[in-house]
Amino acid sequence: MSNYQIKEIKSDRIGDKYFEIQHESGLKIFLYPKENNNSTYAVFGTKYGSIDMCFQSSEDSEVQKVPAGIAHYLEHKLFESEDGDAFTRYAKTGVSANAYTSFDATCYLFSGSDNIYEALEILLDFVQSPYFTEQTVQKEQGIIGQEIRMYDDDPQWRVLFNLLGALYQKHPVKTDIAGTVESIAKITPELLYKCYHTFYNLNNMALAVAGNIDVDRVLQLCDKMLKPSKPIQVDRIFEEEPQAIVQDRVEQKLSVAVPLFELGFKEKAGKTRLSSKEVAETEILLNAIASDASPLFRRLLDAGLVNETSFSYEYFEGPGYASVIFSGESKDPDKVADEIKKELAAVRQNGLNRDAFERSRKAVYGRIVSSFNSVDYLANALVADAFAERSLFDYLNAVASADLESVQNRLKTQLLPEYSALSIIKPAE
């Protein structure tokens, strides 16, 4: 057994535990054994997403600027090797494999109930073995170009990016994750290797495996497969984002039966992410204001302004950006936006009802506890929390111990109408 620090992290509240290992290769590993679970889910991720277009590592003499869409492009290319592709290798194990690029991370994952250790070996191997040539990079430009054009006509995608373009002046979160046909045309094998060696350094990555696993066996496999990385620091560079929004309303016509809307409220955000406590308080506040048990939702439903299934809210935050977003389908999106703003004004003036606060705190707590039965939730959350410098059980504790006053205080910096924008997709004529 290699020599590394292994920490057991326990929750007295739910009686679960997981292990956090700082591996000598530089990789942070999270193992969450759930003996009674039939399936296992693994995520190998890097803290590198679509917003990381301007950066300087401790190895660089100057700031690097790269084309939009390169993180997503790299994710596609990494499955290929000289000997074929990773999906072909996975097919022999029977697991289901995938990958995704978000604004601030790229993750490779698989789930299954058999041949888990073989699948894990494939995952650790191909993510550490980049292979890019002029020919394969050019071939991918056509494939990703088609994907970009497809997203240009996707109403759900457009309603979000139109909103982000209305809220953000400078921050790259307003740029499509896949980039543009023009930006991906500038991607070369050299640029891909540059970004790979900067961000796919094991010190910038995390591995989480949750489910029916033998901890020692996973660690032995990590000892065998992980290639030590030289520790490097990466400074992600963003232009200062003004507090003001770009415009308060944006509309587009696409092929939809009923108009789609997203109403976003921008707030100040720094490079350091919010604490578990702040995120927990926001979640409770949003649940009290807009969950399907809230007076606002009942009013919107009774007036026929939203339907049972489509109305939702989320706290959308990451490095340098944070917004609350309400979304749904409505025949009158402007009226829905007005009703939401009226409700916020009333809560600001009268405060949250204590009973509503308690119900919401319990509802959010219950939702989190039930997600601890899901191995995919656990593995994805462990990696996301590692990159945000938060911890899984801290969030649970923060929800359990939240108080009414702190939750109401979130309204001083959040959900301010002067920093809101409404994005609407209307049916094409």
- Evaluate whether 177 touches 102 at the Cβ level (below 8 Å): yes
pLDDT mean over 5-33: 95
State residue 238's pLDDT score: 93
Give the DSSP letter of residue 255: S
Backbone angles phi, psi at 238, to 5 degrees: -125, 140
Q: Which residues pair with 209 in a beta bridge?
A: 31, 42
For the residues 34-54, what does the mean pLDDT come to? 96
Examine the pLDDT at 150 and tell me if it is beyond 70. Answer: yes
Torsion angles phi and psi, residue 212, rounded to 5: -85, 80
Q: In what order do the strands lie in the sheet with 54-57?
A: 64-65, 54-57, 234-236
Task: Tell me the per-residue pLDDT of 151-179, one tens digit each, with 9 for 90 and over.
Answer: 889 999 999 999 999 999 999 999 999 99
Predicted local confidence at residue 413, as pLDDT: 92
CA atoms within 13 A on the CB side of 289: 30
Q: What is the pLDDT of residue 392?
A: 93
Identify any residues that bridge with 57 across adjacent strands, giving them in sequence order.
234
Which pLDDT band, with edges at 50, 70 and 90, does 1 fall under? very low
On the question of pLDDT at 361 being above 80, the answer is yes
Q: Residue type for 87, please?
A: F
- For residue 58, CA distances in Å to 63, 203, 389 come to 10, 13, 21
The amino acid that residue 39 corresponds to is: S
pLDDT band at 190 (very low <50, low <70, confident <90, very high): very high
The mean per-residue pLDDT over the stretch 290-316 comes to 95
pLDDT, position 325: 98
Check pLDDT > 60 for residue 223.
yes
Distances (CA, A) of 384 to 100, 206, 245, 371, 380: 13, 9, 28, 15, 6
Provide mean pLDDT across the span 245-271: 96
Q: Which pair of tokens denotes residue 14?
A: 């739910």
Mean pLDDT of the chain: 95
Report the sign of the C-alpha dihedral through residues 52, 53, 58, 63, in that order: negative
Percentage of the residues of the chain whose pLDDT score is greater than 90? 88
Residue 226 has pLDDT above 50, yes or no: yes
Is the CB of residue 14 less than 8 Å from the CB of residue 396?
A: yes
Q: Does residue 136 register a pLDDT over 90? A: no
| Arithmetic mean of pLDDT, 331-355 | 96
Centre a 10 Å sphere on the Cβ of residue 61 and count the other Cβ atoms it contains.
5
Q: What percent of the residues of the chain are helix, what percent strand, and what percent coil, each to the nearest 5?
A: 45, 20, 35
Residue with token string 């789930």:
111
Cβ neighbour number for residue 13 with a 10 Å cutoff: 12
Instruction: Report d(CA 17, CA 29) in Å as an integer.
Output: 14
Cα 102-129-145 angle, rounded to 5 deg: 45
For the segment 53-74, the average pLDDT, to the nearest whole number, is: 95
CA separation, residue 241 to residues 244, 246, 270 (Å) = 9, 11, 9
Q: In 3D, which of 312, 309, 300 has the Cα closest to residue 339?
A: 300
Is the pLDDT at 31 greater than 50? The verdict is yes
pLDDT given at position 2 = 63
Q: Report, as an integer, the average pLDDT of 201-229.
A: 96
Query: What 8-state DSSP symbol labels residue 61?
Result: S
pTM of the model: 0.95
User: Choosing from 20, 75, 140, 343, which is the catalytic residue?
Assistant: 75
Domains and CATH numbers, the chain: 5-236 (3.30.830.10), 249-427 (3.30.830.10)
76-87: burial string, b at 16+ Cβ within 10 Å, e else: ebbbbeeeeebe
- Identify the CA nearest to 249 among candidates 174, 179, 166: 166
Question: Is the Cβ–Cβ distance between 265 and 420 less than 8 Å?
Answer: yes
Q: Quick check: is 75 catalytic?
A: yes
CA 321 to mean position of chain CA atoms: 12
